[in-house]
């Protein structure tokens, strides 16, 4: 069975497909595309199919009116790599059909062929086929339309305008495995059988269907629906069975390669909810120096401003921002980051200017408010408006960047309301979760229903454009600064922006959920991913949740912090409870979890810095080829270990809780309390070594292809490595 990827603008879905290999795209005998494209007219519908990149096709379809050319696109035309040699496709074609005969176009070892009902020649349905080495053909997928079924490309018109509803269906099989789809809190790596609503909110970042509302992965049909669209646009391409690195390379060639992050960002990033004023931040830096704990970033979180939309620190609490940033740098060497929300209150100094200039989002009906916060109604800035993005950055630059705070936390970035799945955000514990419909927000680019998925991407773009202008650098080159976003979309990886998993609860179950979430982020193409170590918020059903003075939570925090040593960015954050409050809010520093735990926490912070060369190497590979950093086991071992495919299909703990961190480290976080030992599955690597895996803490070696139980006291995360530790610490791993 082969791997294939289908993209609805682009659909970042990694699958175990319906057959086996295609040739490497850069081989000398690569079959160059034999057509520039197929224009197919079918009643009121037009379909344009073009060879795209290596072993791929791009398909666009529309009823009646052709696309305007102004639709937001996350696809590079031409791709970064491919037979195009730098020439864009545009709307080119050299073949036309009305469905009265069969048409076949080839690109590399992939064909697209028009077929009729029941697979008969002719017709207007599309089939995607692999050419085998012996010249035979194997079906990868086709537009799903069994006899007397609804059309696989189905349109309807729910409103009075020309925008339409679309449903597109493709054939599948019950044993297909589906990877990616952004991040959901579902404990699944294999998404087969899932139905995923494509709307962003806190902790839920579905992707990648632009202008779509749902993905359904059934036993025989995969269906993608959009409530509002002006064009349907997807890309499909293939790779050899189990060759997920080639799929990631092709995906990133279409949607963007991650730049390399600044070296300092690979260290330990400190945050809590929240540091209240300048004196507290300076004292924090002094304490890091006193405790001799390395730190690379100190974060100022939300409500540090006087009013929503000021996009600057409250001068009553932060009287000398430049001096504070300089003191932090001198004491610790750390950079600083500040939070921004997209919301603007009418109390803000920026409100009238933004209102007059059309920089605030509205609603299709009603008073134009998009959410509420702390009792005041607010409107979000319109990230889809380039002028609004420029206004945001200019304000941030004046109030932060020019004063020494160069990194930004793009919180509440989800679009629509403030990214919550309910209205009345923060008003009262008694009126949350009222089942109102989400506001139908109106942006410069369209409505929430039509372009809502663009919002977080455009918000990230606002900061990226600002960074690049301030540093006179271009997108894709090495980053001097970083942003942190609660949401994203296709191509977010091209920005100097990491995505985190949102406001998660501080309990053991949630820790386990984040591992699968991070692995789905990786399959989607997001290499810059992180999490709140320790969780973000108290779970009211668990008495000790997030309480730093309880032994139960201290144990959870240590295990969580251990794990973040082995995610792309090591970061702590969260709202903490405590029995003895020493500041405005409870502490969340490395020394806050008891004398017995501080040495463990600090040891993992030091280990993170010891792995600097390894981290630089794997981030460099991500930049060059799209090769993922957090790697689900199927990425490396599906071909060498016959158990991996079945374990992944069943979403067992082996494949939702274990992963490779780069090419040499196998990580298995402890996700239950009171553990003193832990069972780990060691994949068969396929090499000739009979004992390829080494346990990091004891140097004991084990053969692959078996489950082993290892000691896992609180100070040890189950961690295995391939090859020598010296090579790993030196970064000599490829």
Distance, in Å, from the CA atom of 313 to the CA atom of 594, rounded to the nearest integer, reads 33
Rounded to 5°, angle at Cα 684 from 682 and 686: 150
For the beta carbon of residue 356, count every other beta carbon within 10 angstroms: 9
Q: What DSSP string runs through 439-503?
A: P-EEETTEEHHHHTTHHHHHHHHHHHHHHHHHHT--TTSPPSS-EEES---TTGGGSSEEEE--S
> What 8-state DSSP symbol labels residue 402?
G
Residue recorded with tokens 């994203």:
488
Q: Which of 310, 503, 532, 549 is catalytic?
A: 503
> What 8-state DSSP symbol labels residue 163?
-
How many angstroms separate the Cα of 267 from the Cα of each of 239, 330, 401, 617? 35, 17, 21, 14
Collapsed DSSP state (helix, strand, coil) of residue 526? coil
Under 8 Å between Cβ of 573 and 273: yes
Active site residue 414: no
Distance, in Å, from the CA atom of 590 to the CA atom of 448, rounded to the nearest integer, reads 41
Q: Which of 301, 411, 587, 641 is catalytic?
A: 411
Find the Cα–Cα–Cα–Cα dihedral 261, 264, 270, 271, rounded to 10°.
-40
Pairing of strands 446-447, 677-682: unpaired
Q: What DSSP string runs through 663-711?
A: TTEEE----STT-SEEEEEE----SS-SS-EEETTT--EE-SSEEEEEE
> What 8-state DSSP symbol labels residue 584?
S
Rounded to 5°, angle at Cα 20 from 132 and 693: 135
Q: What DSSP string runs through 194-258?
A: -EEE---BTTBEE-S-TT--EEEE-SSEEEEEEEEES-EEEEEEEESTT-HHHHHHHHHHHH-PP
Helix H or strand E segment including 50: strand 45-51
- Residues facing residue 546 across a β-bridge: none
Active site residue 245: no
The residue length of the chain stands at: 734
For the beta carbon of residue 301, count every other beta carbon within 10 angstroms: 19
Distance, in Å, from the CA atom of 486 to the CA atom of 482, rounded to the nearest integer, reads 14
Active site (catalytic) residues: 411, 503
């Amino acid at each position: 069975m082969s791997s294939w990827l289908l993209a609805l603008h682009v659909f970042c879905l990694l699958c175990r497909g319906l057959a086996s290999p295609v040739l490497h795209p850069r081989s000398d005998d690569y079959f160059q595309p034999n057509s520039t494209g197929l224009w197919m007219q079918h009643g009121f519908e037009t379909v344009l199919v073009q060879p795209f990149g290596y072993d791929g096709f791009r398909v666009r379809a529309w009823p009646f009116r052709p696309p305007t050319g102004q639709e937001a696109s996350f696809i590079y035309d031409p791709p970064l790599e491919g037979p195009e040699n730098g020439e864009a496709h545009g709307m080119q074609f050299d073949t036309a059909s009305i469905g009265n005969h069969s048409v076949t176009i080839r690109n590399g070892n992939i064909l697209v062929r028009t077929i009729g009902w029941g697979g008969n020649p002719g017709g207007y349905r599309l089939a995607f086929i692999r050419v085998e080495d012996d010249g035979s053909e194997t079906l990868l997928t086709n537009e799903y339309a069994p006899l007397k079924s609804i059309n696989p490309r189905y349109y309807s018109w729910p409103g009075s305008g020309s925008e339409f509803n679309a449903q597109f269906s493709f054939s599948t099989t019950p044993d297909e495995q589906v990877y990616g789809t952004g991040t959901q809190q579902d404990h699944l790596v294999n998404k087969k059988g899932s139905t995923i609503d494509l709307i962003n909110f806190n902790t839920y970042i579905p992707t990648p269907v632009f202008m779509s509302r749902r993905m359904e992965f059934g036993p025989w049909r995969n269906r993608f629906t959009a409530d509002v669209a002006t064009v349907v646009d997807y890309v499909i391409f293939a790779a050899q069975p189990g060759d997920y690195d080639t799929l990631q390379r092709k995906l990133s060639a279409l949607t963007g390669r991650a730049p390399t992050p600044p070296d300092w960002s690979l260290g330990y990033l400190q945050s809590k909810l929240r540091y209240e004023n300048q004196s507290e931040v300076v004292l924090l830096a002094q304490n890091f120096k006193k405790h001799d704990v390395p730190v690379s970033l100190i974060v100022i979180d939300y409500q540090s401003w006087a009013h929503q939309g000021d996009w600057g620190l409250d001068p009553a609490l932060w009287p000398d921002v430049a001096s504070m940033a300089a003191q932090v740098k001198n004491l610790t060497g750390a950079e600083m980051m500040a939070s921004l929300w997209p919301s603007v209150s009418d109390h803000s100094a920026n409100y009238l200017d933004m209102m007059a200039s059309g920089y605030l989002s509205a609603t299709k009906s009603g008073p134009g408010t998009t959410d509420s916060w702390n009792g005041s109604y607010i409107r979000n800035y319109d990230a889809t408006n380039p002028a609004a993005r420029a206004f945001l950055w200019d304000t941030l630059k004046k109030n932060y960047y020019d004063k020494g705070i160069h990194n930004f936390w793009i919180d509440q970035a989800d679009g629509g309301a403030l990214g919550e799945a309910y209205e009345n955000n923060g008003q009262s514990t008694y009126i949350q979760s009222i089942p109102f419909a989400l506001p139908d927000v109106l942006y410069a680019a369209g409505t929430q229903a039509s372009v809502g998925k663009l919002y977080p991407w455009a918000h990230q773009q606002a900061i990226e454009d600002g960074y690049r202008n301030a540093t006179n650098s271009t997108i894709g080159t090495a980053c001097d600064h970083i942003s942190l976003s609660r949401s994203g979309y296709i191509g977010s990886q091209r920005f100097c922006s990491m995505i985190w998993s949102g406001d998660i609860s501080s309990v053991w179950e949630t820790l386990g959920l984040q591992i699968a979430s991070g692995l789905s982020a990786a399959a989607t193409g997001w290499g810059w991913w992180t999490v709140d170590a320790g969780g973000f918020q108290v779970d009211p059903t668990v008495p000790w949740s997030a309480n730093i003075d309880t032994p139960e939570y201290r144990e959870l925090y240590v295990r969580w912090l251990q794990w973040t040593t082995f995610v792309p960015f090591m970061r702590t954050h969260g709202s903490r409870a405590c029995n003895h409050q020493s500041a405005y809010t409870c502490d969340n520093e490395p020394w806050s979890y008891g004398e017995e735990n501080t040495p463990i926490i600090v040891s993992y912070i030091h280990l993170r810095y010891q792995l600097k060369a390894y981290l630089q190497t794997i981030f460099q590979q991500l930049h060059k080829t799209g090769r993922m950093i957090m790697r689900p086991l199927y990425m490396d071992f599906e071909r060498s270990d016959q158990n991996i495919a079945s374990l992944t299909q069943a979403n067992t703990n082996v494949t939702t809780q274990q992963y490779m961190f780069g090419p040499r480290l196998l990580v298995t976080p402890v996700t239950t309390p009171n553990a003193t030992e832990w069972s780990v599955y060691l994949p068969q690597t396929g090499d000739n070594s009979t004992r390829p895996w080494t346990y990091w803490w004891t140097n004991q070696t084990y053969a692959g292809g078996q489950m082993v139980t290892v000691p896992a006291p609180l100070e040890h995360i189950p961690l295995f490595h391939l090859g020598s530790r010296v090579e790993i610490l030196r970064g000599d791993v490829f």
